Copies of this chain bind each other. A is one copy, B any other.
């Protein structure tokens, strides 16, 4: 066997950074992207421009690929099955990926395997939401469309039945979940290969602002060793039970009474793993590629005591080049990762990784760099 071809569907920053990680691996990387301006399409040599929702496009793209993997969860499940029927390895496969595509399927499966979840059920209308609330401690309740949401989209924080109408307008099934009394959010990131090898990254703390990931601290400060081990084992068990291949991010709530509950699953490199580019021996992107190719996995251990990742969101100024210069001058150790995207307010356009022995200092540096790039800090 010679060096294989990996086909990645989706031209976002995850594909961009996966290509970056694939260059030293010597593999051939092929991209299916919506437009030539997409983040990954700017940097990949072998790009097909096309619609990932069109089966003929997917089939033509998959020809000549040794394996297909994904930058996002938006390829229709039935198309993935068709590719598998054509004999193309799809990793993660449709039977796994459906759990990251459909929150209803995910909750049902996790409950079946005994993974700890918030109280939940599919609800049919606003009156049913009130019934769900009354089955527990009452309102507030979280409503989610089972498909199509990300970064806080497709999620509603509902305080009363009068608030509960919007989620039903799209005609997509709606999942109700209790509002968990959590102290913080964690993420357990693992990578699993077809031959059954799995590696677990340190469990991280993930801080959200307005439903969007803002800061990730690796490892999660002060996390009890038993809870950390429990989270890693839970993530590996989910990967095994759902037959996930590649990177799996299990987003978790740490509750006030010391338990962990599964919030979301993502079966691809994930924002909560970006710190691994500068902070771990092997990055999530390299290990995702190694996993989908069934190569032996790389060491997931951290290289520094603390690593912090802060997302760079678009601010009011469309040109980031001057603040980028400033950040480089101010912190020559910062790992700046830009996605080549046009700046729009609130859009993720990059991230900064910092690392070191003093958490406060490492946090300050990452936050300053990200804030300066966004334009919320000007000194």
Contacts and interface: CB of A to CB of B under 8 A. Distances in A.
Interface of A: 1-4, 16-17, 19-20, 23-26, 28-29, 41-45, 47, 277, 281-282, 290, 295-299, 303, 319-322, 324-325, 328-329, 332-333, 335-340, 350
Contact of A3 (B2, B47, B340): B340
A23 B17 contact: yes
Contacts of A340: 3, 26, 28
Contacts of A295: 325, 328
Contacts of A43: 19, 23, 29, 44-45
Contacts of A29: 43
Contact of A2 (B17, B28, B321, B335): B321
A332 B282 contact: yes
A321 B1 contact: yes
Given A26-B340, A43-B45, A297-B332, 19 more contacts: A1-B322, A2-B321, A3-B320, A3-B338, A16-B23, A20-B20, A20-B24, A24-B338, A26-B338, A26-B339, A26-B350, A45-B45, A45-B47, A281-B332, A282-B332, A290-B328, A295-B325, A296-B325, A296-B329
Contacts of A303: 303
17 contacts: A2-B321, A3-B320, A3-B340, A19-B43, A24-B335, A24-B337, A24-B338, A25-B336, A25-B338, A26-B336, A26-B350, A28-B42, A45-B45, A281-B333, A282-B332, A298-B328, A303-B303
Contacts of A325: 295-296
A148 to B, nearest CB: 29
Nearest to A353: B24
Given A45-B42, A303-B303, A26 B324 contact: yes
A337 B22 CA distance: 10
Nearest to A21: B20
A286 B282 CA distance: 19
A298 B23 contact: no
The interface centre, meaning the residue of A4, A16, A43 with most chain B CB atoms within 10 A of its CB, is A43
A23 B28 contact: no
A311 B219 CA distance: 34
Nearest to A47: B45
Nearest to A330: B296
A5 B25 CA distance: 26
A16 B324 CA distance: 24
A375 to B, nearest CB: 16
A324 B23 CA distance: 15
A337 B286 CA distance: 12
A73 to B, nearest CB: 24
Those 3 A-B pairs whose CB atoms lie nearest each other, nearest first: A26-B338, A296-B329, A296-B328
A49 to B, nearest CB: 12
Contacts of A44: 43, 45
A1 B299 contact: no
Contacts of A297: 332
Nearest to A197: B329
Nearest to A4: B321
A263 to B, nearest CB: 29
Contacts of A28: 42, 340
B41 A1 contact: no
Given A3-B321, A45-B44, A296 B26 contact: no
A349 to B, nearest CB: 9
A166 to B, nearest CB: 37
A322 B296 CA distance: 11
